[in-house]
Amino acid sequence: MKILYQGNEGAYSQLAAAEIFPEADLVSCKTFENCFKKCTDDENLRAIIPIENSIAGRVADIQYLMNKYKLQIYAEHFHRVSHNLIARPGVAISNLKYVRSHSQAISQCQRIINEYGLEPIVAADTAGSAKYISDNKLDNEAAIASTLAAKTYNLEVLKSNIEDDKKNVTRFLFMGKKIEHPEYKENGKFLTSCIFKVKDKPAALYKCLGGFATNDVSLSKLESFSDQSSFEQYLFLCDIVGHIEDPKVQKSLEELGFHTISLEILGVYKASKFRNL
């Protein structure tokens, strides 16, 4: 299996993919859109995509890419993120002026950044930040990245586990083009993910959600994001607790369809044991 991830070698997405599929061929991509586009062009490819973090919230732009490419979700994975302050060998923390990393990592490590008075530099990814410091031989700059990134780019770990909250967890989605979903089992724990756009009418969202309430179906996620062509209409990303073949979920989706302009099913998959649903 070939799995695409965003970032340079040593990225947290690479570590998350290796946890699920240790034998897979892991391939780095420069951007998230590269991952989505390549999977759209080749149905044999898979991608692992971070969607949200327990501290910093949702990962920017992923919802737009999910709506644009309509890749199917096959699984979710919760990865414990342990950040490290890394720099070139021999560099002391007192010599540092800047810290470079992805915006999410910087958000998750504010305490140590403020403690040492470092100026953040937002970069495309964590491992790429480590590579940049190594390639440019910077002695006044550190990166926030994984121990794998430190090892890959011959850097030194100055501080380990620097995240503000030790329960720092990122949720990843395992995605691809083919439509596949697990067999429905009455006692199984499943999620059905969808994106919908509500009609431009009063109380439209209220009516959309009414079907879930009357059919006793829970939602584990509901978030809005604007249609890129307009601020007047919003799309909603929704994770439904249950399998699409469950009669209750089917009835809820039928009612949802009456009050939406569009409704796209993005996947049916087993809920992670991390959730304890």
Q: Is the pLDDT of residue 228 over 80?
A: no
Say what the pTM is: 0.91
Question: Looking at residue 95, what DSSP letter applies?
Answer: G
> pLDDT tens digit string along 119-178?
999 998 999 999 999 999 999 999 999 999 999 999 999 999 999 998 999 999 999 999
Cα 43 versus chain centre, distance = 21
Q: Distance between CA atoms of 253 and 256, rounded to whole angstroms? A: 5
56 vs 5, 110, 165, 246, CA distance in Å? 20, 11, 11, 33
pLDDT (average), residues 3-31: 96
Q: Distance between CA atoms of 157 and 180, rounded to whole angstroms? A: 42
Cβ neighbours of residue 259 closer than 8 Å, sequence gap 6 or more: 198, 199, 201, 204, 207, 208
Question: Which residue type, as a one-letter code, is found at position 11?
Answer: A
Cβ neighbours of residue 2 closer than 8 Å, sequence gap 6 or more: 24, 25, 27, 44, 45, 46
pLDDT, residue 55, reads: 86
Q: Which of 171, 170, 178 is nearest to 71 (CA)?
A: 178
Q: Is the pLDDT of residue 277 over 70?
A: no
227 confidence band (pLDDT: 50, 70, 90): confident
Q: Distance between CA atoms of 201 and 107, rounded to whole angstroms? A: 37
Give the domains, in start order, of the chain with CATH numbers: 2-81+169-176 (3.40.190.10), 84-160 (3.40.190.10), 190-270 (3.30.70.260)
Least confident of 37-46, 54-63, 70-79: 54-63
Least confident of 4-13, 51-60, 93-102: 51-60
pLDDT, residue 231, reads: 67
> pLDDT tens digit string along 177-195?
999 999 999 999 999 999 9
pLDDT, residue 172, reads: 98
Q: Distance between CA atoms of 111 and 220, rounded to whole angstroms? A: 30
